[in-house]
């Protein structure tokens, strides 16, 4: 079984189709990517956490992927470190 410990989310999509398009664009730019779908296919949930599809890249490729997506006019996820710090604000 393959694990993705050193991979980070570079983009969150609302459909597998959208995520596959982003993955293809990244791979065409030389950035290996994988799609992680959390969609519940039993009930076809279209909202909330069960409807999200994430595109992951290796940590070492994150900056390259983020810059490429921005150049393509696609808004990537914010940097993982910044997200973690901002999510801790206001908590005790």
Instruction: Please tell me what DSSP assigns to residue 35.
Output: E
Question: What is the per-residue pLDDT for 15?
Answer: 84
Better pLDDT: 56 or 90 = 56
d(CA 24, CA 20): 6
d(CA 92, CA 89): 8
Better pLDDT: 6 or 38 = 6
Residues 18-69 pLDDT 10s? 999 999 999 999 999 999 987 666 665 555 556 688 999 999 999 999 999 9
Strand, helix or coil for residue 18: helix
Structural domains of the chain in order of their starting residue, each with its CATH number:
7-88 (3.30.70.1530)
Better pLDDT: 15 or 24 = 24
Question: What is the per-residue pLDDT for 86?
Answer: 44
d(CA 71, CA 91): 35
pTM of the predicted model, to two decimals?
Answer: 0.73
d(CA 3, CA 12): 19
């Amino acid at each position: 079984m393959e694990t993705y410990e050193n991979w980070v989310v570079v983009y969150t999509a609302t459909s597998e189709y959208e995520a596959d398009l982003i993955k293809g664009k990244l791979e065409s730019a030389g950035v290996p990517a994988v799609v992680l779908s959390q969609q519940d296919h039993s009930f076809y949930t279209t909202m909330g956490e069960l409807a999200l599809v994430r595109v992951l890249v290796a940590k070492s490729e994150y900056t390259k992927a983020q810059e490429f997506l921005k150049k393509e006019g696609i808004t990537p996820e914010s940097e993982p470190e910044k997200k973690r710090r901002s999510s801790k604000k206001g908590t005790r």
